[in-house]
Amino acid sequence: MRSLLLEATITKIYAKRMKRRYKKRHLSKKCYEDLPSIPSLLLETIRRRYSAKCSKRIRKRKRELEKEYYADWSSLPRGILEMIAEKLTFIDCLSISKVCMSWNAILGEELPSWQRHGFPGLLVSGQQNKETRTCISILENRVWELELAEANGMYCWGSFRGWLIMVKNLDYFYLEINLLNPFSGSQISLPSVWNFYHKIVPSGLPSENNFVCMLLHSQCRELTFWVTGANSWRKYNKLTGEPFEDAVFCNGSFYLLADGFNVWQIDVQSIYSNINKGNDDFGTLSEIETRFHEVKRPEMFELQEGGILHNRHTSQILRYLVESCGELLLVCRYFSPNQHTVIETQKFEVFALDFCQLSWKKVEDLGDQMIFLGKCCSTSFSAKELGVGIKNSIYFCNDPTIPWWNEWDSDHLKGISSRLGFNQTNVNNWGIFTLGNEDGEPFCFHGDIINWAYTWFTVPSWWCYRNIPPIRSN
């Protein structure tokens, strides 16, 4: 009895389904038969409504699937995102900063822990009377404009990380110096000083403790210092001899390149302490902590001693001191003796100071380091941290063959190439030299004598995340 009842129920349900299916088919057939009789405008309206209804249903289903299978990355905790960014290269961080607005906002903040990251760029010279300065992004191969209205009428003397050292020449006698951060808008005015100096060396960022600026005299070994909060510069003139060719801050001290290959070391803490204690005599420091390192010359310079030690006015070798990963490097730039080319760079050599043996050791390979050479702006970057494939290289500008000139003192050089008939075809403002390429094709760089050397500077990572599109990694 129960089986018969179940069979009857199933038969009834099947009959209802067949009836509904027949009805649908009959209606569809009738609709298709009546299509020619429906006005075209009405038919088009029906089609559009049906298509919109289907699209809405598809979008709704897609949103449901995304919500079910895809994570909401914008809700990733801030601490985890910062940990991820610390492990990535600069170019990769630049890419993930475009994932969503919340990531861009977090990465675009001025975080002190990310100050090691940055983006190397070039600031074009000869634009002191403009409110915008042209910049060159070497990793992007792109030119962009930087708003610098507050630096109108000023020359760029150098840089340190994201800070520019701006100078206004007052009647060719005094220099008005400002430390300017074009990205944050911060600005620090330094006391005016006589126009006798060829290089300025900061000890770090202005926000750091015991910040000191040092000036190198272009005619003697006189040094001048300024510390945060001081109303004037303090001189130190107890060192005798030819002027220092270059200097750099490294591991808490200033290192100055003397005649030959010897090095003077000055402790920054002693400078700061003596100035704050008032240990000076009418603006002249009585005593600071100095050390002299008599460094053995590299072997290849033994036979060239006379030509190197006494070449302040006729030298064909320009030397730079650079700090790289805590090491003190000496970079020698060789110019062609051919006077018809004026600025022709033939090669570079790099040496590292061995403090134990007090000797310069030749560096054959820089590893993943990239050195950027320039007047008052030499620095180094890690190719691995940046995420670029160009390592073991030296980036340089068309610096003059002697270090004693400044841009505001070189106006008389403009037009000299045309007056003297020098060949200025195929000249450049900056170039790249790869170490270990001595056995390859001969290297030759023709610098542009008409324009002053450009300035290397560092664009902060947070500013890049806000303003620069993703860079393709090569």
- Give the model's pLDDT for residue 29: 54
CA distance linking residue 85 with residue 78, whole number of Å: 11
Q: Give SS3 for 393.
A: strand
For CA atoms 379, 187, 189, 147, give the dihedral sign. positive
Helix, strand, coil in percent for the chain, rounding step 5? 30, 30, 40
CATH of domain 112-467: 2.120.10
Using an 8 Å Cβ cutoff, are 96 and 103 in contact?
Answer: yes
- Give the model's pLDDT for residue 388: 78
* Burial (Cβ within 10 Å: 0-12, 13-18, ≥19) of residue 223: buried
Where are the alpha helices (H) located in 244-293, listed in sequence order? 268-277
CA distance linking residue 413 with residue 152, whole number of Å: 22
Short-list 139, 140, 133, CA closest to 159: 133
Short-list 123, 114, 128, 47, CA closest to 84: 114
From edge to edge, which strands make up the β-sheet containing 223-227? 197-202, 212-217, 223-227, 234-236
Q: Where are the beta strands (DSSP E) in 408-454?
A: 430-434, 445-446
CA distance linking residue 445 with residue 150, whole number of Å: 35
Element (H, E) at 134: strand 132-137
CA distance linking residue 419 with residue 406, whole number of Å: 22
The amino acid at residue 124 is: V
CA distance linking residue 334 with residue 317, whole number of Å: 5
**DSSP code for 455:** E
Return the structure tokens found at 443: 């290297």
pLDDT tens for the chain, residues 1 to 474: 556 666 666 676 767 767 676 665 555 555 555 555 556 666 677 777 778 878 888 887 777 766 665 667 777 888 888 888 888 888 888 888 888 888 888 887 766 555 556 888 899 888 888 888 998 887 777 888 888 888 888 999 999 988 999 998 877 688 899 999 998 889 999 999 988 899 999 998 888 888 999 999 998 889 999 998 888 899 998 888 889 999 999 998 999 998 788 999 999 998 888 887 776 655 778 788 899 998 987 766 654 444 443 334 444 788 999 999 889 999 999 887 765 555 788 889 999 999 899 899 999 889 889 899 988 889 998 888 888 777 888 999 888 888 888 888 776 555 555 555 555 566 778 888 888 765 556 677 777 777 788 899 998 888 888 877 665 544
- Where in the chain are the domains? 74-107, 112-467
**DSSP code for 76:** S
Residues in the chain: 474
Short-list 471, 371, 455, CA closest to 156: 455
Q: Give SS3 for 58.
A: helix
